[in-house]
Structure 1
């Protein structure tokens, strides 16, 4: 078995959001990891919907919140709140936004197609 490393601080790709943050992406073989930096004021429906071209986020996310706080509202109206140390899974069909005045930094394995033009 070969062990490979790649620093998230030197990403393969950086995908900017409309106005509030960016996504750094590293891919090793068939594994993709993203580090999203959602700045205060970030909201999926304003910062990513114009890129994705869908009414709500259609990406499944599995990840870990490093810092900051975010609220996720599913299309059915249910909400989840995440903060530092939370491990979350989020099904497709949601909006989300940063809570407070701190960047929400999130490591996410569901980013292969996230924030890429449709």
Structure 2
């Protein structure tokens, strides 16, 4: 008779409909949930949002110093790295951004991103 090994971790379910924490800033917000010991964020950025205009005053750094590993749900996001490299990211894209970048919404559609790494430090002093 085969035995099933005991579960070492409980099943978890969270929803961004009821985030554990929300950080709002001009033209945007990040909603956070913790699942499996990891903090996951959903960023919603409105047209006209730019990190250097709307989050830089909160972070107190010249560029965003939070690295990100993220899935782009909707909208288009421009990114400029400290070395001058520029990217345009959109729905279905997965990106890994090291620290040291600026970002902005391109066009008239809000940007929605799910961030598996870096959101816990986003828009935080």
* TM interval, short-chain normalised: over 0.9
**Counterpart residue number, 1:13:** 21
TM-score (norm 2): 0.90
User: Could you give the per-residue CA deviations for residues 19-57 of structure 1, whole angstroms, max 9, x where no partner exists?
Assistant: 201111111352111000010000000111011000000
User: Could you give the per-residue CA deviations for residues 59-110 of structure 1, whole angstroms, max 9, x where no partner exists?
Assistant: 1000100000001000111011100000100010000000000000000012
Alpha-carbon distance in 2 for matches of 1:112, 1:90: 15
| RMSD across aligned positions (CA) | 0.9
**Counterpart residue number, 1:3:** 11
Instruction: Give the aligned length.
Output: 116
* Bigger CA radius of gyration: 2
TM-score (norm 1): 0.95
Where do 4+ consecutive residues of structure 1 move more than 2 Å?
none
Match of 2:119 among 106, 111, 115: 111
Alpha-carbon distance in 1 for matches of 2:55, 2:74: 20
**Counterpart residue number, 1:95:** 102
Matches within 5 A, 1:1-118: 1-17=9-25, 19-109=26-116, 110-116=118-124, 118=125
Alpha-carbon distance in 1 for matches of 2:32, 2:54: 18
Q: What secondary structure sits across from 1:112 in the alignment?
A: helix
Q: What secondary structure sits across from 2:119 in the alignment?
A: coil
